[in-house]
Amino acid sequence: MTRPTVRLRPKAEARALRHGFPWVYADELVTDRRTQALAPGTLAVLEDAERRALGLVTVNVSSKIIARMLDRDPEAVIDEGWFAERLTRALALRERLFDQPFYRLVHAEADGLPGVVIDRFGEAAVIQPNAAWAETHLSELEAALVRVTGVTTVVKNGTGRARGLEGLAEETVVLRGGLSAPVPVPMNGATYMADLTGGQKTGLFYDQRPNHAFAARLGRGGSVLDVFTHVGGFALAALAGGAERALAVDASGPALALAEAGAKLAGLGDRFETRQADAFQALEALGAEGARFDLVICDPPAFAPAKPALEAGLRAYERLARLAAPLVAPGGYLVLCSCSHAADLSAFRNASARGIGRGGRRGQLIHTGFAGPDHPILPQLAESGYLKSLFFRLDG
């Protein structure tokens, strides 16, 4: 087949691409009139400055990531069979890791599908096509997903910041099958209710699964405060693990309603309380009340999703730690989380430690948690390892 070609600028680093880096930035590609005319999501052969083929890429000239590597074979055919091969490999890992079909099935570049996220919820799956090429090939991806996994319901969740950066419109639609209610998801002994069409992202955050489990051990027999709880997050896992009581805080009423439904379904409702409020205001109010908890968790949305927001984001993480630390009982535990791509582990850890100190507390960092193994990291792409969870034991 005849495909357009795009070429790296002479000073662009082709070696990184040959060694597995999956992106080409806008200032690294020759953007002549012919390249500028390519429709978003066009497949093209990428060449280095000496016109040697590097592989098959998808091009979006309106994005800062102007090209994404799809296949090292420049003649690869991107059809249902190609998607099925990638999905089969992804599924094999998840089936080895989990006994039940509730997990992240595809973690974008790390699973060989740039800009694509797929979360599985039993017989249903949610696709996030966050890059233009995935939107263009959505029908082949959906067909391959059904063929490989056997799911009967497929939802397209076309929302979020990433789609805006690609110039894509927001849209959530059921592509196949149907949903009449939120889906119950068993995880760490708790039950979470996932709204696949109206909830945040795909309806549930699987990435914190191992950190929920670690926190649950720390909360046994004690009281728990879970701030930014979403649909129950750390709180329900802690209750399932033996915590005496838990207070869950979130700004979203619908999310808290799902959390309460999950608690009731798992028989934890009598020990579970919710409070709808802005997180910072709730922490200040609890401090004024003199409240203390054996385990406090703060798992906010990304305060620093990109480099321009880094300084403000780090200040927000510091403030969060400052307000949360005084609420921890002597000898208790504080868990601080960040899903910000722009804030690396060192910067987040330093901001958290400053906040704890400003909150009048000292403590030990006893554990650093990351996303679960269904969120693999592409070693060449630091952005694929976005989640950081810091576990502190605070002194009296």
User: How far apart are alpha carbons 262 and 258 in whole angstroms?
Assistant: 6
Q: Which amino acid is at 105?
A: L
Structural contact between residues 332 and 296, judged by C-beta atoms closer than 8 angstroms: yes
| Closest listed residue to residue 171, CA positions, set 189, 154, 159, 155 | 159
Catalytic residue flag (residue 337): no
| Closest listed residue to residue 226, CA positions, set 305, 302, 327, 106 | 327
Look at the alpha carbons of 314, 317, 319, 325 in this order and tell me if their dihedral is positive or negative.
negative
Tokens of 327: 């609420």
| Closest listed residue to residue 56, CA positions, set 30, 34, 24 | 24
The one catalytic residue in 339, 342, 347, 378 is 339
User: How far apart are alpha carbons 48 and 55 in whole angstroms?
Assistant: 10
Structural contact between residues 133 and 68, judged by C-beta atoms closer than 8 angstroms: yes
User: How far apart are alpha carbons 146 and 125 in whole angstroms?
Assistant: 9
Q: What is the DSSP letter of 78?
A: -
Kindly report the number of other CB atoms within 10 A of residue 352's CB atom.
Answer: 27
User: How far apart are alpha carbons 329 and 396 in whole angstroms?
Assistant: 7
Element (H, E) at 321: helix 310-324
| Closest listed residue to residue 170, CA positions, set 139, 128, 204 | 128
Helix/strand/coil for 304: coil
Query: Which residues are catalytic, by number?
Result: 339
